[in-house]
Structure 1
Amino acid sequence: MGVVLSASSDLVPGTAEPFLVVDRGLCVGALSRSAERLLGVIEPDAVNRQVTDFLVPADVERSAQDNLHAILVSAAGGYAPIERTVVRPAGEFGVFLEARVGRCGPSPAALVVLSAID
């Protein structure tokens, strides 16, 4: 079963780009097959779990975690422009990804599109 979401053209993922949909409670609502492969989890096992079970700020400082949470909550609430931040898969070190984060809908949620940092 699929879901149709709308998002800004600057945020829409490319066909191979991994992405996650995150609600205001910071829970995963959906993820792409490429995100499943990248994060080592299948969608049924990821849905309703905290996004931080899978993605964390690249910087381990507490302020970076708070900033990631703030970006996600703002986007899920429909209040923020597209923002970019650097994350890494939870439990992985040395793997850094750029995350484009913005609002998607119709139900307000955050769309997190991941891309490798060259």
Structure 2
Amino acid sequence: MNIKYSRFSVTELDAHQQAIIPISAFAAAGNMSALDQALNQGLDAGLSVAEVREILVQVYAYAGFPRSLNALSELMRVAQARRQRGIQDEAGREPGRPIRSARRRHGQSDQAGWRPGLRAFVRFRTPGK
């Protein structure tokens, strides 16, 4: 991450980082025509296909599965169209295994105070009853 700090704490994003913003925003909004342009600009800026795919996978947590899935389909369409035009985008490396926390290695929950019975109570409790 190329963040430069000046005397007044001004930060600058590089081209890769700047390309992430419209990709994630248009994917979350479900604006596929704008996402098409943002994907092309991001790939032109040097983002790998794997990086863009991971961005769109992360959209799932914030905008929901349908928008994330639609955005991933749009990425596949854009990547195919770019290949047909002779543009070779970097594939990038696939994400590695998730890191297990020290608590989980020792058999403890990451959410120490969360109990299954409480989860059921919170989930199915009707307000006012």
Structure 1 length-normalised TM: 0.28
Structure number with the bigger relative contact order (C-alpha 8 A, sep ≥ 6) is 1
Structure of higher CA gyration radius: 2
Q: Comparing both structures, which one devotes a greater share of its residues to helix?
A: 2
